[in-house]
Copies of this chain bind each other. A is one copy, B any other.
Amino acid sequence: MSQLIKKIYYHDTDCGGVVYYANYLRYMEEARTEYMLERGIDLKALGEKGIMFVVKNVSIDYKAPARYADTLTISSSITKIKNVSLEFTQEIKRAGKLLVSAQTVLVCINSDFTPCQIPPELQKVIQA
């Protein structure tokens, strides 16, 4: 598991007074990137080698709204690994209260946007 702390500013919110529902997907991207980096996987360096992870699907539940000036904690873990894809499970909390939970499936692709096998050294790191 890995945690990212995220503070909410005006640009994160909408005129309903709460964080706009699409913006949580940004925080989840940030958290997945940091999860990978903490395990020595640099998505930028991989991208330069022609290996990218793209989102295949997201299933997200909104349980309670985050608001301006909140400090959120996003926890991330990998809950499935297959040959060409992996699944992240992520939770967004404020002071221990669960606001949002999501599963995101990412597919490993090459520079033609074709699915390809997750490199074995990566699989090892991720499974550890």
Contact = CB atoms under 8 A, between A and B. Distances in A.
A57 interface: yes
A11 B32 CA distance: 13
Interface residues of A, number: 38
A9 B21 contact: no
A2 interface: no
A23 B40 CA distance: 28
Contacts of A88: none
A44 B47 CA distance: 23
A122 interface: no
Interface in A1-33: 7, 9-11, 13-18, 20-23, 25-26, 29-30, 33
